[in-house]
Chains A and B, each alone.
Chain A
Amino acid sequence: MTTSAEAKAARPQPGAPREYHFPRFERRKLENGLEIVVAPVTKLPLVTVAVLFDAGAVCDPAGREGTAQLVAKLMVEGTVNSDGGELTERFERLGASIDAQADWDAAAVTMTTLTEHLPEAFDLLGEVLRTPAFRAREVERLKAERLAELLQLRADPGALADELFSRFLYAPTSRYSRPDGGDEQSVDAIEREHVLTFYESRYLPGGATVIVSGDVTVDAAEQLVRKALGGWTGGAPTRVVGDDLPARRKREVHIIAKSDAPQSELRIGHVGIPRKHPDFFPVNVMNAVLGGLFNSRINLNLREVHGYTYGAFSGFSWRRQAGPFTVSTAVKSDITDAAAREVLIEIDRIRAEPITADELSLATSYLDGVFPIRFETTSAIAAALSVLVLHGLPDDYYDRYRERVRSITAEQILVAARKYLHPDELQMVVVGDPATIGEPLAKLEFGPTTLYDTQGHAIA
């Protein structure tokens, strides 16, 4: 249905926007090399502290992939003073949440607490960072929990598609080709001594950053960091630069057999670009139009025009090296080929001609307007500051973000689409029922097809 001119005229027009800026933050540095970034936000009596270490999964030793994530999780599973049970209880009796995890590029120990408990919680955090015990019992338990997770993955079509997509995308030499948490073999190979070595060489004050956001002043935050971590010594670990080479440059189809699956989990994509890239903004806006928003081309096509799916999206995974560009959806089994075809049509179309002025303004006004809504919580602000630190972005990055988004043109998007989307190199991964999807997919003539079991082993 079309909208009449009168109806449009009846629509409320926005008033003048109120000014907004990303929370002001200040940097400090301790004598031991520890960096401090503090963003005071006084809305509620709440503080988030995130301590970042250069200890992400790219630092995993070959053959023991999963070490970084295991070490991160073990950080909050006991100190010399308190075993794991006591430690979590000490935090939680304050109402504080404590969590540690590693992604590809960094490990982060994150805590959120009411302001009234901040000094006590901060001291506990210091104890956690400086005197983890890595008790053998906890090492074994967390290894077993990772193995349980891997087992679960085999029965979860969406998660399985994600994992195998990475494996088929990257060359075996790339850390990105194996799961960030490690696989059965590599996790099994990790011993307590490897955990200790990893901690001792990568969890050091030099090269680490403490991010504090919330109801606290810069001076008070510095005093807390100084008290808890000032006496800690150790220089910066060497930066590990991973390889992000693709496994293949030609289109291929990888079908993971799940008999009688009512849906196919579909992933289509290729190796993308690194986060710190001169064309980050045009690529980001291009992706918003292609598949980043609800009203993107891919979602409107697959969901609203065809009813093939509950949702279809595209995205770049932003890492220090080139993470994957992925179109991701789950579609009814018997139209898997038709859905894949529509995705390919959309990738071709955005490279063929400039997007319309309407599409451009939708994407840019969304990314511009939604900006303040992204930073309502202390943990969201801490996460945004982590991105700055991790990728070495300039301190005025968030202050300039909105004008940079608004400056993007349709021509720049066409250039970005042609430069960074590679239809000839697309890999297609489908977790689904081979009996239903095999023949129709073959008729697509997308590329050579291999059938695998849920372990990712080729079935002859």
Chain B
Amino acid sequence: MVQFRAMRIPIETFRLPNGLFVTLSEDHTAPIVAVNLWYHVGSANEPPGRTGFAHLFEHMLFQGSADVAANEHFELVARAGGTLNGSTWLERTNYFETVPSNQLELALWLEANRMGTLLSAMTQQKLDNQRDVVMNERRWSMDNQPYGSWMEKLPALVFPPQHPFHHSLMGSMEDLAAASLDDVSQFFSTYYTPDNAVLSIAGDFEPGEARRMIERHFGGIPRGKGKPPLPDMSLPPVFGQWKREVVPDDVMLPRLFMAFRTPVFGSEEYYAASVTGAVLGLRNASRLRRRLVRERQVAADASAFTYDLAKGSDLLVIDVTGRPGIGAEQLEQEVAHEIDTVVRDGLDASEVERAVAVIQTAFVSGMQEAGDRADRLSMFATYLGRPEAINEEVDRYKAVTTERVNAFVRERLDENNRASLLYVPRENAPAELASAGAATEAE
């Protein structure tokens, strides 16, 4: 409890002989425990012609294993009074359960059972079913959603064609259709191994007992044979030009995603990028909300976020939706003008202080749930090899000075490091804008 007050959580780590890295963080305030498993594989690892496979594979992990029937994973966790899910990102795939603390072993056993024995339960019929489910997920989240395509258009615009972050995480319908049981088995043997995973437990448990459970259930799973190296992912620090794509879409208002290439997650300069994002677009007093929504009244909404990529380069993205009556070109000019002003005059110390204060409260709020704590621990362990970094977060943010923020701004928000993805209501898309978009796509 004392450790919590100082915003430091207790952390214990060890590694099993088969390579599984484990992070434990106790907190006995409620009888709740979170189990969180990160596999160090994501859409970046997909072979050519198999876009979307890492995510489809995530679905297959809920289709049973040697001792668990299809969908029984959901049922067992629900019956235990727990919640669960999984998610896929460019560099990792995670699986997690939060359960009453007396059900810890069930959650560990379920994760170990699928890590050890998934393939014995795979069938063509299950793959076909989940392929249909994922195709519907794509329709729902992207194809039938205003602006939904930004999730694949933005990475395609900002990463070079052969770069592992370039292609669609959700995948094309063609590639999803082509995925086979052989692919499932290849992917599983290559990436779903204990030495390519991090297991975190946060909440109400006894560490000695948890360790015995982990050894019992995960200890016998053989180490993998190693994964193919990713191609060189390093990129120049800036785009070297202002990249642009215009997307005519079935939308009512223009919306601009403007991305900047930024230093990777966990690096010293990542924190300057993250604070800059917060100054520009986190909460109501942020620069873009104040200027574009409140004062100029040209935007209906404005926000900013980072992708938190740990290899190659990260992205800082600002996301601004226009007000009715504001044209797409005007919206882009207004945003560009604000960014130009920031580059020219720098940000004020008071804006940086506000951003850091808001980030600090959000960080403490984010430590309330066992599931979120476990996920952050897995993130730091997977990307940086140091779950302890979680306890340095607040200090690292507080250490970001206005000078560092402004050095970052000058270096990274300039015209040679911008990428605009501009959505234009379809009937209003001027011909010249639309063709400019086509030219960018053909690059």
Contact = CB atoms under 8 A, between A and B. Distances in A.
Given A18-B204, A304-B70, A155 B140 contact: no
B16 interface: no
Contact of A149 (B72, B136, B290, B300): B300
Contacts of A373: 32, 81-83, 98, 100
B223 interface: no
Given A1-B64, A11-B67, A44-B367, A361 B144 contact: no
B81 A85 contact: no
A136 to B, nearest CB: 13
Contact of B132 (A42, A112, A307): A307
B31 A20 contact: yes
A43 B105 contact: no
Interface stretch (A49-57, A63-71, A87-95, A385-393): A87-95
A76 B146 CA distance: 29
B133 A85 contact: no
Contacts of B133: 303-304, 307, 309-310
Given A1-B121, A14-B102, A307-B129, A114 B360 contact: yes
Contacts of A394: none
Interface stretch (B87-95, B234-242, B249-257, B327-335): B249-257
Contacts, number: 227
Given A14-B100, A307-B136, A310-B140, 19 more contacts: A1-B121, A44-B367, A95-B361, A148-B253, A149-B300, A151-B324, A152-B321, A156-B145, A300-B71, A304-B133, A310-B136, A310-B141, A330-B140, A332-B135, A365-B81, A369-B81, A369-B103, A372-B100, A373-B98
Contact of A3 (B31, B69, B293): B69
B93 to A, nearest CB: 18
Interface stretch (B17-25, B46-54, B349-357): B349-357
Which of A97, A158, A265, A368 has the most chain B CB within a 10 Å cutoff? A97
A435 interface: no
A113 B5 CA distance: 14
A95 B397 CA distance: 13
A353 B383 CA distance: 52
A413 B95 CA distance: 33
Interface stretch (A126-134, A139-147, A168-176, A234-242): A139-147
Nearest to B249: A155
B12 interface: no
B137 interface: yes
A411 B250 CA distance: 49
Contacts of B145: 156-158
A308 interface: yes
Interface in B264-307: 283-285, 290, 293-295, 297, 300
B29 interface: yes
Interface string A281-323: 0000000000001110000100111011110000000000000
B69 A2 contact: yes
Contact of A294 (B7, B78, B297): B78
Contact of B31 (A7, A19, A151): A19
B175 interface: no
A420 interface: no
A370 B136 CA distance: 29
B68 interface: yes
B300 A148 contact: yes
A185 B106 CA distance: 55
A331 B133 CA distance: 10
B162 interface: no
A369 B82 contact: yes
Interface string A6-33: 0100111011111110000000000000
A155 B367 contact: no
Which of A310, A371, A377 has the most chain B CB within a 10 Å cutoff? A310
Contacts of B30: 20, 372, 375-376
B252 A88 contact: no
B106 A17 contact: no
A379 B362 CA distance: 12
B221 interface: no
Contacts of B392: none
A16 to B, nearest CB: 6
Contacts of A7: 66-67
B370 interface: yes
A451 interface: no
Nearest to B367: A44
B365 interface: yes
A366 interface: yes
The contact size tier of chain B is 35 or more
Given A1-B121, A114-B360, A378-B368, A369 B80 contact: yes
B225 interface: no
A263 interface: yes
Contact of A114 (B80, B102, B252, B361): B361
A370 B283 contact: no
Given A330-B140, A365-B81, A366-B81, A295 B369 contact: no
Say what secondary structure dominates the interface of chain A.
mixed
Given A84-B294, A309-B136, A330-B136, A372 B74 contact: no
Contacts of B32: 372-373, 376
B358 interface: yes
Contacts of A372: 30-32, 100
A89 B99 CA distance: 39
Interface string B121-152: 10000001111111111011101111000000
- Closest 8 interchain pairs by CB? A369-B81, A307-B132, A95-B357, A12-B105, A18-B31, A95-B361, A7-B67, A310-B137
Contact of B67 (A3, A43, A376): A3
B380 interface: no
A144 B323 contact: yes
A295 B146 CA distance: 30
Contacts of A97: 283, 358, 361
Contacts of B365: 46, 112, 377, 379
Interface in B313-339: 321, 323-324
Given A145-B300, A373-B83, A262 B360 contact: no
B109 to A, nearest CB: 5
A112 B354 CA distance: 15
A293 B78 contact: yes
B403 interface: no
Interface in A106-123: 112-114
A16 B102 contact: yes
B178 interface: no
A396 to B, nearest CB: 20
13 contacts: A3-B68, A11-B106, A15-B102, A19-B31, A44-B367, A91-B285, A262-B143, A300-B71, A307-B131, A309-B136, A365-B80, A369-B81, A372-B30
